[in-house]
Amino acid sequence: MFKLALGAIVSLLFILTPASAASTEGRPQATSVKKQIVKKPARRKVQASAVATERPRIAKRITVVRGKRSVIYRPVRSANFIPIRTAGDAAGLNLTRDPLALASSVAFVLDQSNSEVLFEKNANVALPIASITKLMTGLVVVQAQQDMNEMLTITEDDVDREKHTGSRLRVGARMTRGNLLHIALMSSENRAAAALGRNYPGGISAFVAAMNAKARLLGMNDTRYVDSSGLSSRNIASARDLAKLAVVAHQEPLLREYSTDPKSVVDASGRMMHYSNTNYLVASPDWEIGLQKTGFINEAGRCLVMQAMIQGRAVIMVFLDSKGKQSRTADAGRMRRWLEALRPPAVG
């Protein structure tokens, strides 16, 4: 009950909507009927609780102010609700504080020209990296010098059986390897990444082996790959390892172009399909981004790897296990402002 001016009377009622059935009130009280009445509500009560675990519960709040009745419906979180915990949360990384109040549990920033570490936070912990995996997928494809004009076909083998995600690429669609690489890097297309791995000499197993071999060659000792898309939470790496990958990937012009293209139209079996970049910062005039890749699965949280020019200095940024849809790009903005404050522009 809230106290209102002018003696207004306010009625506050919270009513949780039932999941089923009519009331037994007003029914005859005969003995034979009583037994049925005792049993039926018990059954219905069990049914109601079962439904309540599947459907969102709604609270109804009724307020009367100066004779005017207002009704507000709000969802009520179930007592059985369990928030999604990332691998970083399980490791306690979300408890680490930093001077920038980053939303990411892991961060690593490197000066690309001299390898000076400018910022680090839990940078040596190996975590799921989601679609950041596709950066290594692209590197293996490009350095294998596979024909980018070869037509490849999406098959049932490319359908996601791990997370059961959807795709705009239909089974049977045909597309050049170059276009598949383009939308895998730019729009994080999972079936495209799967098809790239499957069409490597020796198939997907040979491709994953090549990914892991490349990681070892680059000194990425905390990194392991099991697929070419990043849908598996067993694809892991540390932020420090991913910075090494970004430095090498940035040397490939095709990876730079495809990963930073804001939009593209690609041909899939004669059907023109429009794709956009998963990182809106590439279209921002405030940023000069040379390479980037985003990633997300529940176990990994929001992830971002990016090469950017900040006041004439080339830097590699890595953010892992960020909470909130725009949190990883917001962290990139915080980091840029912090770097700009450290290194004011030259005068004169």
Does the annotation mark 3 as catalytic? no
Positive or negative torsion for Cα 320, 321, 325, 327: negative
Query: Are the C-beta atoms of 283 and 292 separated by less than 8 Å?
Result: no
Active site residue 263: no
d(CA 175, CA 188): 16
Phi/psi of residue 14, each to 5°?
A: -110, 115
Residue with tokens 């990411």: 104
Residue 16's contacts (CB-CB under 8 Å, 6 or more residues apart) are: 57, 58, 59, 76
Active site residue 134: yes
Check 121, 134, 214, 244 and give the catalytic one: 134
Per annotation, catalytic residue among 188, 228, 233, 238: 188
Secondary structure (DSSP) of 279-320: -GGGG-TT--EEEEEEEEETTTEEEEEEEEEETTEEEEEEEE
3-state SS of the chain: helix, strand, coil percent to 5?
35, 25, 40
Distances, alpha carbon 206 to alpha carbons 170, 203, 342, in Å: 25, 6, 45
Please name the amino acid found at residue 227. D
Report whether 235 contacts 193 (CB < 8 A). Answer: no
β-pair type (13-16, 57-65): antiparallel
From the list 6, 17, 7, 8, the residue with the least C-alpha distance to 70 is: 8
Active-site residue (options: 104, 105, 121, 131): 131
CA 300, CA 322: separation in Å to the nearest integer?
8
The residues assigned a catalytic role are: 131, 134, 188
